[in-house]
A and B are shown apart, each in its own frame.
Chain A
Amino acid sequence: GAGVSQSPSNKVTEKGKDVELRCDPISGHTALYWYRQRLGQGLEFLIYFQGNSAPDKSGLPSDRFSAERTGESVSTLTIQRTQQEDSAVYLCASSLAGLAANEQYFGPGTRLTVT
């Protein structure tokens, strides 16, 4: 079946502009996660949605970052007033439920470059 998809695959933007990144999780997966991976670094957790519960936003680095999810489907990550340090690959993952043992399936990521 279809995996996690993300768009765009690449985004180049000027410093100060807003960007919106999209994630389509695997159908039926109730949990959705956003991570950021800077060049040569590990993944940093950003935000986690589980069903209709309030999202866990504990990883968002600043108030310029926000995310929404419509029901158990598409999610968008918005970065306002982008800065050069926001340049990274933004990865989305989904799982059947937000339980400890559930495997997370990752999308191919959006490579964001802020010039």
Chain B
Amino acid sequence: RKEVEQDPGPFNVPEGATVAFNCTYSNSASQSFFWYRQDCRKEPKLLMSVYSSGNEDGRFTAQLNRASQYISLLIRDSKLSDSATYLCVVNPSNTGKLIFGQGTTLQVKP
């Protein structure tokens, strides 16, 4: 079993749609969680951290369920510029070593 699993997609949605991505992780002792965004042939960039109580940043909402070892990202009112690969990232220990999922590709169409 992979340490971090994501549905690779692609998710093809129209502008304005709401889309949700899910991710599961295998290490129950994992310390911290993130969503990174990666544009085609570019480096990953942090989108948002994921907190236990859930957190929101504009159109983006992240949720964490430690009991189910499940992380989600919700994007509301999708924009063309949201088209990218979204990487679920887990820190399994109290160091900076990150474990990346393979990513979920989102394509927002006009």
Q: Which residues of A contact B (CB under 8 A)?
A: 31, 33, 35, 41-45, 48, 50, 56, 58-59, 91, 95, 97-104, 106-109
Contact = CB atoms under 8 A, between A and B. Distances in A.
B87 interface: yes
Interface of B: 4, 31-32, 42-46, 49, 87, 91, 93-103
A99 B42 contact: no
16 contacts: A42-B87, A42-B101, A42-B102, A43-B44, A48-B97, A50-B96, A97-B96, A99-B94, A99-B95, A100-B32, A100-B94, A100-B95, A101-B32, A104-B96, A104-B98, A109-B43
A27 B99 CA distance: 24
Contacts of B100: 35, 42-45
Contacts, number: 61
A72 to B, nearest CB: 14
A95 to B, nearest CB: 6
Given A42-B87, A42-B102, A42-B103, A107 B96 contact: no
A102 B96 contact: yes
A45 B43 contact: no
